[in-house]
């Protein structure tokens, strides 16, 4: 259902772009507007990821510079059945993260230094799983196209405002509404584009939370991370995002200093609603596991002692998996060598 809704919203946004062009220059204006939108989308398809990373001064990291973070992303990518994306770190005190790229083969995930300092390993895994869910769903491409069309509509609206004020008295133009109509278009079109863009963003965030929880296999890891991020983004401003709010919808948490309400004007769903859905999902997964364990216990065994030993071993394995997570097959280095200084996820 979310995919259908996203498709309808994108179609509506494209139609709005064409209508704005028609109102400015008639049928010829509509054709020019659609051709312009197509050219912008082609450019965004090939260059949007590099542009966003440059805007945020992101630095690519690897196994040498950020071994733990890269290891988390690698193992989660394997869980999701995705190619290994490029991993970046953004020097910014606000805890946040985003994903970009036109497809899974050319994807990148990025985390701020503020996030890496604030969250523990499990919570970082939850956040990275959320970003990989965006990559898997190709949301990065969807949101790039959305932002491009919305920006083009705003540019056309500015032109309409200028034409309405200085050229509205001319009778030989192709505008069917006149100068006053173009001024109304200049006011209402960007508002409509913004509402559609925000609706698409909210829809994709809920879906990424769900699939991200499935990738890391622990919904409460992401829920705990979102709770900390919600407090962090309201406490620490993101000056880069404030200067260029057009990319705010790319982040896991709204980086702007707004209220974050789950309303028409919110780029992200309400954080409380997101956490509540993840808690509900965690309860459902726990119930399914309990049912499976009950079924296994009800089966008769020929050797009671052997059955108890296998049960104890199974519980021990599950406890170890809970501590280490699905990406780690052996104890952490800090457990093997207690005297070594613990490294942070970025190196």
Report whether 104 contacts 135 (CB < 8 A): yes
Pairing of strands 86-90, 59-61: antiparallel
3-state secondary structure of 326: coil
Distance CA(246)–CA(48), nearest Å, equals: 13
Q: What is the DSSP code string of 47-82? A: HHHHHHHHHTT-EEE-TTTSHHHHHHHHHHHHHHT-
131 is catalytic: yes
Angle at 125 (CA atoms; ends 124, 126), nearest 5 degrees: 90
Kindly name the residue from 68, 75, 123, 131 that is annotated as catalytic.
Answer: 131
Torsions phi, psi for 93 (to 5 deg): -70, -20
- CA atoms 242, 248, 250, 251: torsion sign: positive
Instruction: State how far the alpha carbon of 244 is from the alpha carbons of 56, 66, 188, 216, 238, in Å.
Output: 10, 28, 21, 32, 10
DSSP state of 344: P
Q: What count of residues does the chain have? A: 347
**Residue 106 CB coordination number (10 Å):** 17
DSSP state of 265: T
Torsions phi, psi for 3 (to 5 deg): -65, -40
Report whether 84 contacts 75 (CB < 8 A): no
Torsions phi, psi for 66 (to 5 deg): -145, 70
Report whether 72 contacts 125 (CB < 8 A): yes
Q: List the catalytic residues.
A: 131
């Amino acid at each position: 259902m979310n995919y259908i809704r996203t498709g309808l919203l994108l179609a509506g946004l494209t139609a709005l772009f064409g209508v704005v062009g028609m109102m400015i220059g008639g049928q010829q204006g509509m054709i020019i507007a659609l051709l312009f939108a197509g050219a912008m989308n082609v450019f965004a398809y090939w260059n949007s990821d590099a542009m966003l990373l440059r805007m945020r001064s992101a630095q690519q990291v690897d196994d040498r510079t950020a071994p733990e973070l890269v290891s988390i992303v690698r193992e989660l990518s394997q869980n999701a059945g995705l190619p290994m994306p490029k991993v970046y770190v953004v020097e910014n005190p606000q805890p946040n993260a985003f994903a970009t790229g036109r497809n899974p083969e050319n994807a990148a995930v990025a985390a701020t230094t503020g996030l890496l300092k604030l969250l523990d390993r499990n919570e970082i895994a939850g956040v990275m799983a959320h970003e990989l869910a965006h990559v898997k769903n190709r949301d990065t491409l969807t949101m790039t196209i959305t932002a491009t069309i919305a920006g083009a509509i705003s540019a056309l609206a500015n032109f309409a405002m200028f034409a309405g004020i200085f050229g509205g008295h001319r009778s030989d133009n192709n505008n069917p509404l006149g100068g006053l109509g173009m001024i109304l278009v200049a006011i209402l079109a960007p508002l409509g584009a913004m509402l559609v863009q925000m609706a698409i963003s909210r829809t994709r965030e809920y879906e990424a939370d769900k699939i991200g929880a499935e990738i890391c296999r622990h919904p409460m890891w992401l829920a705990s991370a979102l709770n900390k991020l919600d407090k962090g983004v309201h406490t620490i401003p993101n000056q880069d995002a404030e200067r260029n709010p057009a990319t705010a919808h790319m982040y896991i948490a709204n980086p702007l200093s707004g209220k974050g309400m789950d309303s028409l004007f919110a780029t992200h769903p309400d954080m409380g609603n997101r956490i509540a859905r993840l808690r509900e999902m965690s309860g459902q997964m726990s119930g399914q596991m309990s049912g499976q364990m009950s079924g296994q216990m009800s089966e008769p065994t020929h050797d009671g002692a052997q059955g108890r030993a296998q049960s104890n071993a199974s519980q021990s394995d599950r406890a170890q998996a809970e501590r280490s997570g699905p990406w780690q097959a052996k104890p952490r280095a800090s457990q093997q060598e207690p005297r070594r200084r613990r490294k942070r996820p970025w190196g």
